[in-house]
Structure 1
């Protein structure tokens, strides 16, 4: 058994935590699987933009399938380690797949930038070939980081991982956070700020060209609120989930003080929960994903068709 002898009879708290994390994992898998099925099955969703969403859903699905089980064992049992092997496998999956998810989010923001800010040249600049390149780059960077973790190791035999199971080498302390979070965050913040400013400018332009009627003002106001809500949802969820963990990680690196495992694990689960929320944000909130028909109706039709 992978559990120590004193944990063979898990407490009620452990059982409740397992149930909660298990439901979180199921939600992540189910939500992203629906996105993958819909984009793959329905031809009207075969667009460059949705290829990026598909890549994001695959990354988030793998987070639910591969990362969540390892993290569940680590979180609930706390002291379970198979020397350095468990740490390397767990952290390699964790960092590489979460990096892929974040980089795909970054690619989607780039796609949205050209769609909103340069609509006339959008189809020529963001075609299927460019989309494939963006996806390959995202996954290549993620895989390289994961391989680096396996080769270099996270713990360097740091008391055999008794206190911490995170990176204490250059790869993890500098390169991984930069490419996994800080750089994509800066890019996404700049892009979505630009999109919001352009959308606001377009709304003002529409307002100035009308007769200043109440109806036109209401329409413009609705457009501004929708743009604000959409961008706030995208960036707000991403920053809310991932920022605390990486700030804690930076604090640990610069102060050379170990943060309690319980704190790091809690913040790590917040970061992982971004993969649970992504399919709801990008699939259910955005009309450009749902397409001309109602998304849920299409999914229901698909499932009923295969049941019959």
Structure 2
């Protein structure tokens, strides 16, 4: 995915691309990705340290989420290299593999972890009585193997021979590493089904929540013996509406840029049309960056994860105020 989707339209270096233009595109990539990558890494570290610091959070569900945070942090580290995949360069076979296979593995591992976390929370709400008997709770190491090993195996298929390196029509590193069939299989066999699964589980949870809220309102009216909605029911409806709006906007903000980027890349790949690498850089950076924000939204919404960081900031703020007051008293 990502840069390799543009292998048909990428411009070989240095045949069609001047060094100045290439360097300017590299600078654009670093200008966009470095702030995004830094923010993603730091935010994940804050949540990881929050889970590690609080012993009450040392349980299986949070271990799943911790694995997702590690994968998300690795995606943040690889973000600049993912964008660079769209700029074809004359590299050796081993260099091409490292530059393309490793970022792809991190992305797929992140996606598998994200599906696993959503599935675990989905089962917790849909079937809470059998929640603790799930196979993922009985064998946590097996779960880690499921979300990390298959992405690694699939990403390494080009290293096992599924590539175009021996093709006489060499057209850059991307074309040599990733065949069209590999790209289509990843997009429509792995990425899109995973995104649709996450969307389906989220919609199902919201629907169940709506049904439970209606039942609570019905019982409340039976107790109060009133036919009209009370202020408490109106507040519950308003809170649910805000929840649906927040979830919908978050999903659109995090996934829509990536879906647009992915389908635009597939369209140009199928039509074998060249397009601006500047457009590719902007779409790839914003698409991958917005997708990597999903775990951060889930983590920062939980006050237990951010409590240690909040306490540390409060201590630093109190110490700074105390020093300011002390310096003012000394000056007087």
1:12-91 matches, within 5 Å, as: 15=27, 17-65=29-77, 67-71=78-82, 73-74=84-85, 78-91=87-100
Decide which of 151, 159, 162 is 2:170's aligned counterpart: 159
Q: Distance between the aligned counterparts of 2:122 and 2:216, measured in 1?
A: 20
**TM-score after normalising by structure 2:** 0.74
How big is each residue's C-alpha offset from its partner over 1:188-231, in whole Å with a ceiling of 9 and x where there is no partner? 12211211111110011111111355232134214412541453
Q: Does 1:133 align with 2:142?
A: yes
Q: Distance between the aligned counterparts of 2:94 and 2:35, measured in 1?
A: 27
Decide which of 231, 254, 260 is 2:275's aligned counterpart: 260
Decide which of 168, 174, 190 is 1:180's aligned counterpart: 190
Q: Does 1:294 align with 2:307?
A: yes
Match of 2:158 in 1: 149
Q: Does 1:228 align with 2:244?
A: yes
Q: Does 1:99 align with 2:108?
A: yes
Q: Distance between the aligned counterparts of 1:297 and 1:163, measured in 2?
A: 44
Decide which of 115, 124, 142 is 2:124's aligned counterpart: 115
**TM-score after normalising by structure 1:** 0.79
1:103–1:180: 8 Å Cα contact kept in structure 2?
no
Q: Does 1:244 align with 2:260?
A: yes
SS at match of 1:19: helix
SS at match of 1:80: coil
Shift in alpha-carbon separation, 1:251–1:17, aligned structure 2, 3 A: closer
2:71–2:106: 8 Å Cα contact kept in structure 1?
yes
Q: How many residues align?
A: 293
Unaligned runs of 5+ in 2: 1-12, 222-227, 318-332
SS at match of 2:129: coil
Q: Distance between the aligned counterparts of 2:40 and 2:74, measured in 1?
A: 9
Larger RCO, structure (CA 8 Å, separation 6 or more)? 2
1:53–1:282: 8 Å Cα contact kept in structure 2?
no
Over the aligned positions, Cα root-mean-square deviation in angstroms equals 3.4
